[in-house]
Structure 1
Amino acid sequence: MTDHPPSLSSSAAEPWQIRAARADEHAAVGQLMVTVYSALADFPTLRQQPRYYDMLANIGQLTTRPGVQLLVAEADGELLGAVVYFADMAHYGSGGIATTLTDAAGFRLLTVSPAAQGRGVGRALMASCIALAVEQGRQQLVIHSTRAMRTAWGMYERHGFRRAEALDFMQESLAVYGFRLRC
Structure 2
Amino acid sequence: MTGLLVRRAESADFPSVARLTVAAYEADGQLKGEHGYGAVLADVSTRAASGEVLVAVDETTGAVLGSVTFVLPGTPFAELSGPGEAEFRMLAVDPAAQGRGVGAALVQACVDRAAELGCAALMICVRAGMAASAHRLYERLGFVRAPEKDWSPVAGVDLLGLRLELPPR
| C-alpha distance after superposition, 1:74-98 (max 9, x if no partner) | 1121111000011x22126365xx2
- State the Cα distance separating 1:171 from its structure 2 match: 2.1
Among residues 106, 115, 127, which one is paired with 1:134 in the alignment?
A: 115
Paired position in structure 1 for 2:43:
58
Amino acid at match of 1:167: K
Query: Given that residues 144 and 177 in structure 1 are in contact (C-alpha distance below 8 angstroms), is that contact kept between their aligned partners in structure 2?
Result: yes
Among residues 53, 62, 68, which one is paired with 1:70 in the alignment?
A: 53
Matched, 1:157 2:139: yes
Q: Structure 2 length as normaliser, TM-score?
A: 0.90
DSSP 3-state at the match of 1:77? coil
Paired position in structure 1 for 2:148:
166
Among residues 74, 77, 80, which one is paired with 1:93 in the alignment?
A: 77
Q: State the alpha-carbon separation in 1 of the partners of residues 38 and 97 from structure 2.
A: 22
Query: Given that residues 47 and 77 in structure 2 are in contact (C-alpha distance below 8 angstroms), is that contact kept between their aligned partners in structure 1?
Result: no
Q: Give the ranges of 4+ consecutive aligned residues of structure 1 lying more than 6 Å apart after TM superposition.
A: none
- Show structure 1 runs of 5+ residues with no match: 1-9
Query: Given that residues 27 and 95 in structure 2 are in contact (C-alpha distance below 8 angstroms), is that contact kept between their aligned partners in structure 1?
Result: no
Q: State the alpha-carbon separation in 1 of the partners of residues 31 and 97 from structure 2.
A: 23
Among residues 117, 121, 130, which one is paired with 2:98 in the alignment?
A: 117
Amino acid at match of 2:49: T
Q: State the alpha-carbon separation in 1 of the partners of residues 148 and 76 from structure 2.
A: 16
Query: Given that residues 27 and 58 in structure 1 are in contact (C-alpha distance below 8 angstroms), is that contact kept between their aligned partners in structure 2?
Result: no
Query: Given that residues 92 and 106 in structure 1 are in contact (C-alpha distance below 8 angstroms), is that contact kept between their aligned partners in structure 2?
Result: no
Matched, 1:35 2:18: no
Query: Given that residues 23 and 95 in structure 2 are in contact (C-alpha distance below 8 angstroms), is that contact kept between their aligned partners in structure 1?
Result: no
Paired position in structure 2 for 1:21:
9
- Show structure 2 runs of 5+ residues with no match: none
Query: Given that residues 78 and 87 in structure 2 are in contact (C-alpha distance below 8 angstroms), is that contact kept between their aligned partners in structure 1?
Result: no
Q: Structure 1 length as normaliser, TM-score?
A: 0.83
DSSP 3-state at the match of 1:111? strand
Query: Given that residues 18 and 71 in structure 1 are in contact (C-alpha distance below 8 angstroms), is that contact kept between their aligned partners in structure 2?
Result: yes
- 1:26 to 1:93, Cα distance in 2 relative to 1, 3 A: same
- State the Cα distance separating 1:122 from its structure 2 match: 0.6
Corresponding pairs, count? 162
What RMSD, in angstroms, separates the aligned Cα atoms of the two structures?
1.5
